[in-house]
């Protein structure tokens, strides 16, 4: 029959052959490896703004559409896993009967003439009749670890032996391990959570706010077979609702029990970094009560749910705040708890965190005087305000700089800006400053306003100066005082010009001359802009130095007036006040770009700790462990165990008291040790005389 007449396989058969082929499985494994590399190199699950900053708008949007920022839960990744499971399972189903049949078969029915075709072969004589030779050779093979089967034939006896059958078992174990590990990973992944949401008719919650405000349609029942989420419990409180984070939102998971946090304890290194932490908990399950301690890497298992110590956070500490208007007005008190919110003018104040210990690198970067306002070239463009609170340094000097608190101010449209203020002054470049940080999104770094501490270590001195800068009458009085002090006695006619210049400098610096919508609202950028517009380029350096000197002197007089109005004694022009004024000028300039007119300062607090637990019901974990064990066994068996088969044909010799032997050996993988092993077998099986022929 010609090949053209052979029936063509059906499409289903061709598809089945493709899925069960080794090439298809290897291709899928390659794609999964590439995806895993992407998932390792590209940080997963971050805010979109961070990806835009890193890759740009076009590539960030493209990568987002391809789910490269959530690789392990992407539909295409799960589809590849499913195909790999199917492909590997089909390989196992297709090859298992053959392997089992091969394990039962010793191939004792081979023809004696075919032994001559093997690479390892020998012919010799045995000084006994065939039956006695069979007994002797059987003992030798058994002692050497070979399992044999005998077939009696008309013209002789065929011994078929084998060793290393576990090599075949290794194939099944390794392939089964892949299936088990993939199934276990899928069972403990987001796919099962999404399946449970579909089965229970639940929806993702994509908003923000407090857990207590989330409605029941976003909560999964305790019957959910697989989940992994976080649970935050404050000291002396109890909770039983975990948060499961998915790529596009969250869903809540009801636990079959509640966890009460009796005490949270944490140890610190001398630098202030956390060394170890643990939680003493009580598990309330119906009418039963179980006490336990959860430590890092020492989970507690209850009712099939593992409770891990993940981290810790604030549990609702009580904060006492002081609100200080920057442009004028009396300070006022505020109280609240972390996690709470309250009206704050036309915005909403959300207290988001308290950190009692803050370890920062305060190493000197060798730039003393770099913050001196007199060294600023006003001809250069100042593109960023509110600089970083810590400067880079090759050396590290870690110090605990005290408590800080964070909060958000949310407008009526729901847009929020985050703030982070330190309670105590921090010494930077020899000057103690209060740090007030702000950032527009969580993907940004905090930019810090550095306000110098006064002689009492308080913020009041700088705040009086800042409020005085916003008062036109005090600015005019400061300009007049500066002109009176700076006018040479021999040139009284210069007083009016100096006073006018000082008034102009203070007006520009305070932002009084700025118009609504101007990007430059005052400070040093306003003076820089003025010089670029009004002064010829050849004279800008000289005018900049003169204008800065007048500004510094006017601000010094303004500080004296501010202290007088506050009932404080005037200060002299010593090194301490000069350092204060140097930093104060920079802080005044930056404060004009501070995005809120009121500064909040932490005065006192009552800390409440909270422990963050990771709770997981992971039925696939046992499958993964079993798969890992099988994978180790399978790889070891396939790499280090070789299947070898040996045939010995015993035929009557020319002498009735002798036998003629023909030996042959085959192996799944050829290697130099096969020849050595066969030589040892030959010497053990044919000891009476030298082999007649090995070719």
Asked if residues 284 and 239 have their Cβ atoms less than 8 Å apart, the reply is: no
Asked if residues 252 and 242 have their Cβ atoms less than 8 Å apart, the reply is: yes
Q: What angle do CA 220, 222, 225 make, to 5 degrees?
A: 90
Task: Indicate the range of 19-28, 284-293, 625-634 predicted with least confidence.
Answer: 19-28
- Residue 340 CB neighbours (<10 A): 15
pLDDT band at 374 (very low <50, low <70, confident <90, very high): very low
Crossing angle between the packed helical segments 575-591 and 460-469, to the nearest 10 degrees = 50
Question: Taking Cα atoms as reference points, which of 108, 97, 101 lies closest to residue 161?
Answer: 108
Tokens (6 digits) for 224: 């959910």
pLDDT band at 687 (very low <50, low <70, confident <90, very high): low
Question: pLDDT digit string (tens) for 617-653?
Answer: 988 888 889 999 999 998 888 888 888 999 999 999 8
Could you give the C-alpha distances from 105 to 62, 99, 150, 161, in angstroms and in order?
A: 57, 10, 12, 10
State phi, psi for 156 to the nearest 5 degrees. Answer: 170, -165
Percent of the chain with pLDDT over 70: 90
Question: Taking Cα atoms as reference points, which of 260, 98, 102 lies closest to residue 611?
Answer: 260
pLDDT band at 76 (very low <50, low <70, confident <90, very high): confident
State phi, psi for 470 to the nearest 5 degrees. Answer: -85, -5
pLDDT at position 516: 67
Calculate mean pLDDT across residues 424-433. Answer: 89
The span from the first CA to the last CA of the chain, in angstroms, equals 40
pLDDT of residue 382 exceeding 50? no
pLDDT band at 552 (very low <50, low <70, confident <90, very high): very high
Phi-psi category of residue 45: left, alpha or beta, with phi > 0 → left and psi -120 to 50 → alpha: left
Asked if residues 232 and 612 have their Cβ atoms less than 8 Å apart, the reply is: yes
DSSP codes, 341-399: EEEETTEEEEEEEEES--EEE----S-TTTT-GGG--TTS-----S--SS---SS--EE
pLDDT band at 271 (very low <50, low <70, confident <90, very high): low
Cα gap 89→337, rounded to integer Å: 56
Which of 206-215, 391-400, 494-503 is predicted most confidently?
Answer: 494-503
Cα gap 644→161, rounded to integer Å: 8
The DSSP element (H or E) to which 280 belongs, if any, is strand 274-285
Q: Which residue has the tokens 């008190």?
A: 333
Question: Taking Cα atoms as reference points, which of 603, 610, 595 lies closest to residue 335?
Answer: 603
Calculate mean pLDDT across residues 460-466. Answer: 94
Query: Is 222 buried (19+), middle (13-18) or exposed (0-12) by CB count in 10 A?
Result: middle
pLDDT of residue 385 exceeding 50? no
Cα gap 39→250, rounded to integer Å: 21
Cα gap 351→338, rounded to integer Å: 5
pLDDT of residue 55 exceeding 70? yes
Q: Which letter does DSSP use for residue 235 in this model? A: B
Asked if residues 606 and 295 have their Cβ atoms less than 8 Å apart, the reply is: no
Task: Indicate the range of 7-21, 390-404, 448-462, 612-626 predicted with least confidence.
Answer: 390-404
Tokens (6 digits) for 76: 């295409």
Question: Taking Cα atoms as reference points, which of 547, 512, 546 lies closest to residue 527?
Answer: 547
Tokens (6 digits) for 660: 């003629």
Calculate mean pLDDT across residues 258-283. Answer: 84
pLDDT of residue 377 exceeding 80? no
Cα gap 678→664, rounded to integer Å: 9
Bridge partner residues of 159 (DSSP): 150, 648
Question: Taking Cα atoms as reference points, which of 381, 561, 414 lies closest to residue 476?
Answer: 561
pLDDT of residue 190 exceeding 70? yes
Task: Encode burial over 274-296: b for 16+ CB neighbours within 10 A, e otherwise.
Answer: eeebbbbbebeeeeeeeebebee
Task: Indicate the range of 210-214, 253-257, 457-461, 565-569 predicted with least confidence.
Answer: 210-214
Q: What angle do CA 226, 199, 622 make, to 5 degrees?
A: 20
pLDDT of residue 384 exceeding 80? no
pLDDT band at 85 (very low <50, low <70, confident <90, very high): confident
Asked if residues 263 and 234 have their Cβ atoms less than 8 Å apart, the reply is: no
Tokens (6 digits) for 689: 């005389």
Crossing angle between the packed helical segments 460-469 and 472-486, to the nearest 10 degrees = 100
Calculate mean pLDDT across residues 129-146. Answer: 90
Calculate mean pLDDT across residues 28-32. Answer: 87
pLDDT at position 92: 86
pLDDT at position 387: 47
- Residue 43 CB neighbours (<10 A): 11
Question: pLDDT digit string (tens) for 486-531?
Answer: 898 888 888 999 999 999 999 999 988 777 667 788 889 989 988 8
Question: Taking Cα atoms as reference points, which of 452, 513, 514, 502 lies closest to residue 475?
Answer: 502
pLDDT at position 361: 66
Residue 154: strand, helix, or coil: coil
Cα gap 259→273, rounded to integer Å: 27
Residue 690: strand, helix, or coil: coil
Residue 135: strand, helix, or coil: helix
Percent of the chain with pLDDT over 90: 36
pLDDT band at 397 (very low <50, low <70, confident <90, very high): low
Cα gap 498→487, rounded to integer Å: 7
Calculate mean pLDDT across residues 303-322. Answer: 90
Cα gap 508→583, rounded to integer Å: 19
Could you give the C-alpha distances from 362 to 389, 430, 438, in angstroms and in order?
A: 10, 11, 20
pLDDT at position 670: 81
Sign, CA torsion 4/6/7/13: negative
pLDDT of residue 311 exceeding 80? yes
Task: Encode burial over 473-511: b for 16+ CB neighbours within 10 A, e otherwise.
Answer: ebbebbbbbbbeebbeeeeeeeeeebbebbbbbbbbbbb
Question: pLDDT digit string (tens) for 522-543?
Answer: 889 989 988 898 889 888 899 8
């Amino acid at each position: 029959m010609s090949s053209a007449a052979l029936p063509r396989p059906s499409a289903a058969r061709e598809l089945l052959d493709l899925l069960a082929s080794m090439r298809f499985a290897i291709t899928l494994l390659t794609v999964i490896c590439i995806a895993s590399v992407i998932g390792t190199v590209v940080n997963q699950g971050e805010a979109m703004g961070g990806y835009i900053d890193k890759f740009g708008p076009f590539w960030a949007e493209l990568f987002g559409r391809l789910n490269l920022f959530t690789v392990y839960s992407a539909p295409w990744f799960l589809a590849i896993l499913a195909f790999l499971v199917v492909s590997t399972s089909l390989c196992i189903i297709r090859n298992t009967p053959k392997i089992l049949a091969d394990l039962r078969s010793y191939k004792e029915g081979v023809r004696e003439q075919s032994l001559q075709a093997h690479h390892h072969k020998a012919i010799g004589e045995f000084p006994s009749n065939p039956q006695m030779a069979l007994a002797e050779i059987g003992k030798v093979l058994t002692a050497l670890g070979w399992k044999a089967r005998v077939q009696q034939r008309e013209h002789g006896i065929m011994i078929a032996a084998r060793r290393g059958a576990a090599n075949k078992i290794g194939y099944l174990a390794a392939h089964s391990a892949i299936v088990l590990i993939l199934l276990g990973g899928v069972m403990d992944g987001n796919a099962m959570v999404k399946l449970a949401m579909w089965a229970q008719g639940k929806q993702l919650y994509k908003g923000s706010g407090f857990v207590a405000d989330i409605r029941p349609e976003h909560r999964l029942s305790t019957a959910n077979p697989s989940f992994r989420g976080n649970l935050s419990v404050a000291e002396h409180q109890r909770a039983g609702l975990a948060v499961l984070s998915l790529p596009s939102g969250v869903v809540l998971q009801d636990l079959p029990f509640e966890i009460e946090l009796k005490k949270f304890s944490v140890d610190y290194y001398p630098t202030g970094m956390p060394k170890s932490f643990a939680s003493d908990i009580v598990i309330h399950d119906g009418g039963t009560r179980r006490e336990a301690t959860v430590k890092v890497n020492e989970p507690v298992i209850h009712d099939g749910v593992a409770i891990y110590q993940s981290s810790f956070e604030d549990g609702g500490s009580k904060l006492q705040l002081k609100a200080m208007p920057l442009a004028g007005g009396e300070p006022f008190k505020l109280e609240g708890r972390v996690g709470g919110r309250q009206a704050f003018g036309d915005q909403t104040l959300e207290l988001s965190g308290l950190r009692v210990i803050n370890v920062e690198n305060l190493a000197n970067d060798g730039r003393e005087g770099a913050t001196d306002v007199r060294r600023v070239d006003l001809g250069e463009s100042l593109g960023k305000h509110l600089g970083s609170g810590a400067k880079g340094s090759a050396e590290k000097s870690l110090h605990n700089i005290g408590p800080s608190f964070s909060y958000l101010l949310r407008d009526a449209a729901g847009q929020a800006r985050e703030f982070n203020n330190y309670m105590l002054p921090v010494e930077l470049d020899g000057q103690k400053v209060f740090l007030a940080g702000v950032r527009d999104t969580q993907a940004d770094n905090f930019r810090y306003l550095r306000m110098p501490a006064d002689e009492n270590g308080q913020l009041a001195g700088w705040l009086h100066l800042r409020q005085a800068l916003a008062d036109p009458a005090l600015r005019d009085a400061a300009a007049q005082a500066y002109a009176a002090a700076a006018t040479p006695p021999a040139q009284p006619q210069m007083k009016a010009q100096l006073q006018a210049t000082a008034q102009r400098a203070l007006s520009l610096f305070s932002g009084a001359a700025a118009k609504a919508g101007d990007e430059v609202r005052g400070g040093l950028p306003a003076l820089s802009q003025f010089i670029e517009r009004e002064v010829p380029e050849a004279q800008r350096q000289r005018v900049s130095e003169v204008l800065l000197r007048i500004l510094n002197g006017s601000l010094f007089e303004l500080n004296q007036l501010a202290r007088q109005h506050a009932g404080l004694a005037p200060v002299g022009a010593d090194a301490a006040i000069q350092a204060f004024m140097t930093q104060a000028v920079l802080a005044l300039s930056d404060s004009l770009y501070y995005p809120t007119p009121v500064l909040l300062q932490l005065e006192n607090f009552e800390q409440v700790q909270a422990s963050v637990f990771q709770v997981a019901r992971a039925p696939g974990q046992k499958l993964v462990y079993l798969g890992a064990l099988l994978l180790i066994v399978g790889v070891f068996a396939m790499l280090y165990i070789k299947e070898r088969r040996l045939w010995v044909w015993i035929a009557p010799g020319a002498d009735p008291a002798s036998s003629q032997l023909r030996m042959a050996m085959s192996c799944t993988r050829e290697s130099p040790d096969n020849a050595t092993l066969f030589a040892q077998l030959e010497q053990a099986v044919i000891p009476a005389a030298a082999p007649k022929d090995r070719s």
